[in-house]
Amino acid sequence: MQIAVPKEIKNHEYRVALTPAGVRELIAHGHEVTVECGSGEGSGYSDAEYQGVGARLESDVERIFAAAELILKVKEPQPDEVARLSKGQTLFTYLHLAAARELTEGLLASGVTAIAYETVTDPAGGLPLLAPMSRVAGRMAIQAGAHALEKAQGGLGVLLPGVPGVAPARVTVIGGGVVGENAARMALGLGAEVVILDTSLARLETLDHRYQGQIRTVYSTSEALDEAIRHSVLIIGAVLVPGAAAPKLIRREHLRNMTPGAVLVDVAIDQGGCFETSRPTTHADSTYLVDGIVHYCVANMPGAVSRTSTQALTSATLPYVVRLANGGFRKVLSEDRHFAGGLNVHDGHLILPEVGEAFDMPVTPLDEALRKG
C-alpha cells in the first residue's frame, strides 16, 4: 500500500504521525511510505533518519496526497489538506468532528474514508488511541495552569504548593478519566490541594483507593461545581463524551464568583470546550481574559512536547496502521467492531451518530456504509 506522512501545518503543531521506527515497521510489511521533507523536524527526527529506514522523501505536498492510498496525520486536516483528499483514499488521524461542521462537510464532499483515532474503542470500553495524548494533555494542563497563574501572565500570582506558612492552592479537576487523573496526579505532585469531580461513583472509588485519600473525590453536582468555582484558583476541564461535543459545565455567569486572576484550562476544547467562554487558542497566543479570569484553551496541547507525544502516539497507532495497510479498511473494520468505531466518514456518508446529532445531519449505519463505495 502507498502510505503518506505529510507535514503537519496546524499552528505550532510539531508532532508527526510516525517515528522512523514506525516507518521501518510498515516497510518491513511490504508497504511503501512517503514522508514529506521536514515533517519530522519538530519532533527531532531528520529527513536522513526517515530515508535511512527506507522512506521515500518528497517535497511536493500535492504529489504526496495525490499518490497516497492511506494518509497518516496527527491533527485534523486543514482546509488546504481537505481540498487534496479524494474518494478511494483513507485518512487516519484525530478528527473531533462534533466541534467542526465545516471540516465534516469538507470530508463528506471529498469522498474520503476518514477514521478518527479518538473514536476507536477497545474491548474494555477504553479509547486506546486517544489515551496517550490524554495523558500528555492532562499532565501539561497543570504546567500550563501553573504558568498562567503567574502575575506576569495575567494570573492571580499564586504558587500552587504554597510555602511554609502559606497554604497550598486548590486545584479542581472536572472529570476523572485519563486526562483528569493525569492532571490530578501532576497537581498532587506539585503539592496543591486537589479535588476531582465526576459523576461515576465507581471511578471516584477507584481514584480514592489509588491515591489513598490524598486527592478529594467528590460526586459532581451543581452545588459541588459552585463550591469549586468559589474556592479554586485553577480549574481543569477534563470532560469527555466520546465522539460528541463537550457539555458546557461552567457558564459565563459563574465567572463572577471566581477569584479574579484564577485560571481555567479547557482540555476539552477539541470537542468544543466545557466552559461557555472557551474558544480555541494556539501555542503562539495561548491565553485570554474573560471577566478577569484567565482562559487557556490550546487545541493541540501535546504538540508543544512533540518528541514525547510523537513517540507515544506511534506506539499506540502503529498496530492499527499495520492492520489497515495489510488488510484494507473494509476488511479490517468489518472484522473488528472496536476498530470500526473509528469510522466517521466514508464515501460521502456520515457514520458517527454523535456528529449527526451535533449538526442535524443524516447518518448512515456502519454496516451499510461498509457495503458502499
Query: Can you tell me the distance from the alpha carbon of 65 to that of 93, in angstroms, rounded to the nearest whole number?
Result: 14
122 is a catalytic site residue: no
What is the separation, in whole angstroms, between the first and last Cα of the chain? 18
Buried b (16+ CB within 10 A) or exposed e, 231-269: bbbbbbbbbbebbbbbebbbeeebbeebeebbbbbbbbb
Q: One of 96, 254, 295, 349 is an active-site residue; which one?
A: 96
Helices (H) and strands (E) in the chain, counts: 14, 15
Query: Can you tell me the distance from the alpha carbon of 111 to that of 154, in angstroms, rounded to the nearest whole number?
Result: 46
Written as nine digits, the cell of 68 is: 497516497
347 is a catalytic site residue: no
Q: One of 198, 266, 270, 346 is an active-site residue; which one?
A: 270
- Which is nearest to 54 in space by CA: 73, 72, 36, 28? 28
For 337, residues 6+ apart whose C-beta sits below 8 A from its C-beta are none
Which residues are tagged catalytic?
96, 270
